[in-house]
Amino acid sequence: MKPLLQVRDLRVTFDLGRHGRLTAVDGVSFDLARGEFVALVGESGSGKSTTALALIRLVPPPGFISGGRLLWWEDEGPVDLLRLSASQMRERRWRDIAMIFQGAQNALNPVMRIAEQMIETMRAHHSMPRGEILERAARCLRMVRLEPSRVLRAYPHELSGGMRQRVLIAMSLLMNPRLLILDEPTTALDVITQAHILEILREIQEQLGLTMLLLTHDLAVVAKTARRVLIMYAGQIVEEAPTEALFEAPYHPYTRGLLQAMPTLRGDLAGKRPIPGAPPDLRHPPPGCRFHPRCPYASEICRQLEPALEEAGGRRVACHHWQQVAQEVLAPEPYG
Ligand code: ADP
Ligand code: MG
């Protein structure tokens, strides 16, 4: 598969003044191939949103990108997005890479009809006649299974949460981006609306051959959409695998913990076992493996030596004991 974006050793630092400094994204590397649907998964605070914002160079202060490369592939070869000027980057945002921000369905302008918001979004990047924009808007709304004649006239409050989220997806498609990043697109929605939106996303992704990066804390969402998964913990990628393989046999104890915290795995809430403990304070990450204080497999080496993210049979994993974890996959109770 042809690469679209190669993220290399990406770092994002927050300078908190007298409260110290933290590296919210710490040496993250992964590839997105053209037309792929990839999920970035981790608990709240693991660095998903910050990673995504770095990809479009919109990390809010006091955060800044403190290292790495973002190789964006064109037919002629790669361009490092981090080397572009601010105005060159602005041109690519939404046109090459669009992002739907976490909670954005509540950020639509309440006093503006959807039509005007779509026109405004488009006009910020292209000078195009109103009629032409509306035609395009209608096409994008139909792709997310909304009725343009009704929705274009509506104000945000006249639409349900699920419809607003679909409007945002339609808006992000206006400029025909090559990469669409979705940050927790279904988190605030009920399960049925969630399933509907995920189905629409998969459909659009296939129809348009769009590359999608979906950020979520919820592995159930991943199972319904992505072909490949990146697992993030405390600012680092700890595992990467094709979705099916990951669900079948997680190699990282953290992934295994996430799977066991899923209610649907056992079909009942009673079987759900959250990972004990909490993610570390990133100003003072634990030495060695960052997950070791919460890990049932941790041994001396884990407390001292940071495991590298290594190739393991077409996957990647950062754990000193991954072979043991992979083998024990069917054992019932690693977290007691
Ligand atoms: P996620 O999207 O996985 O929930 P975030 O990327 O939002 O995680 O946050 C990752 C970490 O980055 C947080 O745990 C926090 O330590 C730090 N962080 C994010 N935004 C800020 C900010 N504005 N100021 C200080 N720290 C921040
Ligand atoms: Mg987030």
pLDDT digits (tens, 9 = 90+) for 56-87: 999 999 999 999 999 999 999 999 999 999 99
Confidence tier at 270 by pLDDT (50, 70, 90): low
User: What values do phi and psi take at 39, rounded to 5?
Assistant: -115, 140
pTM beyond 0.85, yes or no = yes
The predicted model gives 179-187 an average pLDDT of: 95
Q: Which atom of ligand 1 is nearest to the CA of 282?
A: 16
Is residue 265 scored above 80 in pLDDT? no
Q: How far is the CA of 229 from the centre of ligand 1 (A)?
A: 21
pLDDT tens digits, residue range 117-171?
999 999 988 888 999 999 999 999 999 999 999 999 999 999 999 999 999 999 9
Structure confidence by residue, pLDDT tens digits, 207-216 = 999 999 999 9
The strand ranges marked E within 163-276 are 179-183, 211-216, 228-233, 236-242
CA of residue 159 to ligand 1 center, whole Å: 30
Question: Cα(122)–Cα(176) distance, rounded to whole angstroms?
Answer: 11
Would the CB of 17 count as within 6 Å of ligand 1? no
Q: Give the closest residue to 33 by CA, choosing from 6, 59, 61.
A: 6
Q: Which residues contact 207 (CB under 8 A, 6 or more apart)?
A: 143
Say yes or no to pLDDT of 268 above 60.
Answer: no
What pLDDT does 88 receive? Answer: 95
Ligand 1 pocket check for 19: Cβ under 6 Å:
no
pLDDT confidence of 201, banded at 50, 70, 90? very high
Q: Is the CB of 12 under 6 A from ligand 1?
A: no
Nearest to 7 by CA among 21, 26, 23: 26
The predicted pLDDT at position 330 comes to 53
CB 44 less than 6 A from any atom of ligand 1: yes
Beta carbon of 45 within 6 Å of any ligand 1 atom: yes
Note the pLDDT tens digit of each residue in 44-60: 999 999 999 999 999 99
Percent of the chain surpassing pLDDT 90:
86
Ligand nearest to the CA of residue 17, numbered in listed order: 1
**Which residue's CA is minimally distant from atom 14 of ligand 1?**
45
d(C-alpha 150, C-alpha 155), whole Å: 10
Pocket of ligand 1 contains residue 242 by CB under 6 Å = no
- Best CA proximity match to 1, nearest among 192, 222, 227: 227
pLDDT at residue 335 in the model: 52
pLDDT of residue 269 exceeding 70, the answer is no
Out of 18, 49, 230, mutate this one to test ligand 1's pocket (max ligand atoms within 8 Å of CB): namely: 49
Q: For residues 152 and 144, is the Cβ–Cβ distance under 8 A? A: no
At residue 57, what are phi and psi to the nearest 5 degrees?
Answer: 55, 45
Q: Which of 33-37, 267-271, 289-293, 294-298 has the lowest mean pLDDT?
A: 267-271
> What does the pLDDT read at residue 188?
85
Span from the CA of 152 to the centroid of ligand 2 (angstroms):
29
Q: What is the pLDDT of residue 197?
A: 96
Contact 70, 10 (CB under 8 A): yes
CA atoms within 13 A on the CB side of 325: 24
Residue closest by Cα to atom 27 of ligand 1: 14
Taking only Cα atoms into account, the Rg of the chain, rounded to an integer number of angstroms, comes to 21
Cβ of 22 below 6 Å from ligand 1? yes
Indicate whether 263 pLDDT > 90.
Answer: no
Instruction: Classify domain 3-213 by CATH number.
Output: 3.40.50.300
The residues spanned by each domain of the chain are 3-213, 233-327
Cβ(45)–Cβ(39) under 8 Å? no
